[in-house]
Amino acid sequence: MTRARPLALLLAASLLPLAACTTTEGDGAPVASASAPASAQAKNVILFIGDGMGISTITAARIYDGQKRGESGEENSLSFEKFGNVALVKTYNTNAQVPDSAGTATAIHSGVKTRIGVLGIGPDAEKGVCADALAHPLPLLGEEVKRRGAALGIVTTTRLTHATPASVYARSADRDWESDSLIPADQRDAGCKDIAQQLVDADFDVALGGGTAVMFGPHEGGARGGAGADLPGDWARRTDGNVVFTRADLAKAPLDGPLLGLFSPSHMTYMADRKPDSSEPTLTEMTAAALARLKAHSGGYYLMVEGGRIDHAHHEGRAGYALEETVEMARAVQYAVDNTDPADTLIMVTADHSHVFTIAGYPQRGNDILGLVVPPIGRGEDGGDGGPLMAADGKPYATLGYANGPGAVQGERQIPQTGLAARQQALVPLGSETHGGEDVALFATGSGSDRVRGVIEQNVIYQIIRKALGWAE
């Protein structure tokens, strides 16, 4: 493992958003209207994906972020909400009204919508069947980036083998085939590689995230079938690259040569649970590390950055944790804005899907977004005496909630938990809260951002990226 000079930060650059009008064709592809300006060609593209960051999450995170600074919150804007171009994105999978991250991320990185639960393979392939995966491969943006001489970066707060980051480089009949030991016995001899093996076999310049467990065998406490498995070591020997496992190692890693960072056994620690001396870098620090390396590449670059634990917090019914993760992603976006040139870089921010997460109850302006509903003073029949509103069962209720999930009320409803660590109340009891099926937002600024407008199919994001880079008509 090589050690070298400290991480150098890029110089700040101003950001000039572009705006445009639009219509859409029947397939959801954007069509420039007569008044839309010609799109500039980008040298670089950065795509931020807030996993599960639906519009209600953005709204609540905006308020939460402002309230952390002592403001009322509603008037606040997250970094990417200031971008000049916005579209709505339809997220369904080919066989699912409400999608998962594998199908949606595949649409973004292949240009083709596909089934729920599969990566990089077409909708004719049956989930879990290796032969079908081999017979129906889709193009992968990560492969094209390298084939065209550009640099490739992947950053995530999840395992690098999780669905969204894996969509950049992997094809799999099942998103859960992250390790060889996770492929069913009847499929192991059919010729499919597990996702971790595909990662270390892939051609990338920077990959930073979690997931050491699927990289090592039992001798290192890992989940791979081979007793002496060491995929990071194999990768380093093949590429002459550097592997880092801590925040301190990342800061000292050389700027030249490929870099693989694995900072936790599984997903990285929630921001809300981190200690000041955490050995894990933040999403912003990983974004900075990736840009410091990719910017030096003369052929340009594609960087995918995922705020992946937004999704996990929602599944646990812990809205405060999801909002904290969203605020950190907005911080990483701001870093990218400040350290790139809009004249040659397209920055986009989107979500792969939403969640069944609501903001309700007529709380007063500036009401604690993680608290109970307190109405405006003088609201009349609804109270307004400075105390929380009461539901029909005579107990207060919270502003944030879920349509389903582990916080579901069973029997007599208790007074809701409040604060950052609270588990919000839900309606339908489920062990894990589910995704939502409504459209998500796509925000864009910089070169080629005028193509982001209207209501589009999710796979059109792939087309926007390729057109911005001059790879498509």
Q: What residue type is assigned to position 415 of the chain?
A: I
Place of tokens 């099926």: 437
Q: Active site includes 110?
A: no
Helices (H), 279-419: 283-294, 309-315, 319-338
- Token duo for residue 226: 């081979």
Pairing of strands 301-307, 44-50: parallel
| Whole-number Cα distances in Å, 293 to 8, 60, 125, 234, 288 | 9, 34, 37, 22, 9
Inter-axis angle of helices 460-468 and 101-110, to 10 degrees? 30
B/e letters for 350-363, b = 16+ CB within 10 Å, e = fewer, are bbbbbbbbbeebeb
**Separation CA 63–CA 457 (nearest Å):** 29
Nearest to 121 by CA among 193, 218, 19: 193
Beta strand residue intervals within 406-453, DSSP E: 426-429, 435-436, 440-446
Query: How many helices, marked H, and strands, marked E, lie in the chain?
Result: 12, 17
Q: What residue type is assigned to position 52 of the chain?
A: G
Q: Which of 39, 56, 79, 101 is catalytic?
A: 101
Q: Give the number of other Cβ atoms within 10 Å of residue 239's Cβ.
A: 17
Residues labelled as active-site residues = 101
